Amino acid sequence: MPAGLPLTRIRVRSDEAEEVSSLEPTQQNVEEVLDFSAPAPFPNPRGNYLPQGKGRPVREKPRHPSKADGPVTLEEAMALFTDDKTTVMVRNVPNRYSCEEFLCEVISEGFEGRFNFFYLPIDFNTKRNRGYCFLNFLSAASAREFAKVFHGQKLKRYDTKKILEIVPAVTQGLEKNMKALKGGSGRVKNQWFRPMVFGGEEEVCTVEDA
């Protein structure tokens, strides 16, 4: 873990995770999914990546690195996942999905404990997600397996026409993602809107402005 990045500790339970549905944490779904204690605020209220020393947020746009338009086939997607790719970008996430709802589906497919970073950017005007998210896996093999399972599929919770596309993210690795999220001046009070860093023994942290 990079030095100088304070983290707030959260304990995770996933046995009841499939029952969680609201975007804003409530007493009921918090008890079912997370036992947390006053998580520290995430620095950037817009959920964008803020480079050091810059005042303007820079978004990692949901654009495929090798294909400008049209659907990306599974074969094309898998070809992008070389042995150095552990961070994935998930595109076409239905905007109704909350952070906990998306994580529940990931866990239900057997990926619990196999990733250490998750970020679902939220539109603070609509309180809905922006249609894409990021996960960093512990190995390139797990990232490829995730792409194989989810690419070209629909998420199950809501009736949707959106087909997921899984591609390698521009920013690769846990440390680089944490550094990219460091240095903003805003504060986000809702812990569900912050990037999550997953440690050992099902422990979760949220990034705090260092």
State mean pLDDT over 154-163. 92
Q: Report how far residue 137's alpha carbon sits from residue 140's, in angstroms, rounded to the nearest whole number.
A: 7
Least confident of 46-55, 88-97, 134-143, 155-164: 46-55
CATH number of 102's domain: 3.30.70.330
pLDDT at residue 188, rounded to an integer: 65
Kindly state whether residue 92 falls inside one of the protein's structural domains.
yes
Q: What mean pLDDT comes out for the span 114-140?
A: 93
Q: Would you say residue 4 has pLDDT above 80?
A: no
What pLDDT score was predicted for residue 20? 36
Q: What single-letter amino acid sits at 186?
A: G
DSSP the chain: --TT--EEEEEE--TTGGG---SS--HHHHHHHEEE--PPPBS-TT--B--TT-SS-B------SS-SSSPPPHHHHHHH--TT--EEEEE---TT--HHHHHHHHIIIIITTSEEEEE--EETTTTEE-SEEEEEESSHHHHHHHHHHHTT---SSS------EEEE-SS-SHHHHHHHT------B--GGGS-EEE-STTEEEEE---
- What confidence tier does 113 reach under pLDDT thresholds 50, 70, 90? very high
Distance CA 61, CA 89 (A): 10
* Arithmetic mean of pLDDT, 163-179: 93
pLDDT for the residue numbered 68: 52
Residue 59 belongs to some domain of the structure: no
Half-sphere exposure of 186 (CA within 13 A, CB side): 17
Does residue 62 sit within a domain?
A: no
Higher pLDDT, 209 or 197: 197
Mean pLDDT, all residues of the chain:
71
Give the range among 45-54, 98-107, 142-151 with minimum mean pLDDT. 45-54
What average pLDDT does this structure show over 11-23? 40
For the residues 187-198, what does the mean pLDDT come to? 77
Which of 107, 125, 124, 126 has the alpha carbon at shortest distance from 204?
107
Measured CA distances, 71 to 66, 120, 125, 180 (Å): 12, 22, 29, 29
State percent of the chain over pLDDT 70.
Answer: 58
Q: How would residue 205 be classed by pLDDT, with cut points 50, 70 and 90?
A: low
User: What's the number of domains the chain is made of?
Assistant: 1
Cβ-in-10-Å burial (0-12, 13-18, 19+) of 45 comes to middle
pLDDT at 8 over 60: no
Is 57 inside a domain boundary? Answer: no
Residue 161 buriedness (CB in 10 A; 0-12 / 13-18 / 19+): exposed
With a cut of 70, say whether residue 15 has pLDDT above it: no
Residue 18 is given by DSSP the state: G
Q: Which of 16-20, 65-69, 119-123 has the highest mean pLDDT?
A: 119-123
pLDDT at site 78: 93
What is the residue range of 126's domain?
7-47+71-207
Question: For residue 56, is it within any domain?
Answer: no
Confidence (pTM): 0.64
Q: Does some domain include residue 175?
A: yes
- pLDDT at position 208: 53
Is pLDDT of 195 > 80?
A: yes
Domain contains 1? no
User: In the beta sheet, which residues pair with residue 72?
Assistant: none
Identity of the residue numbered 95? N
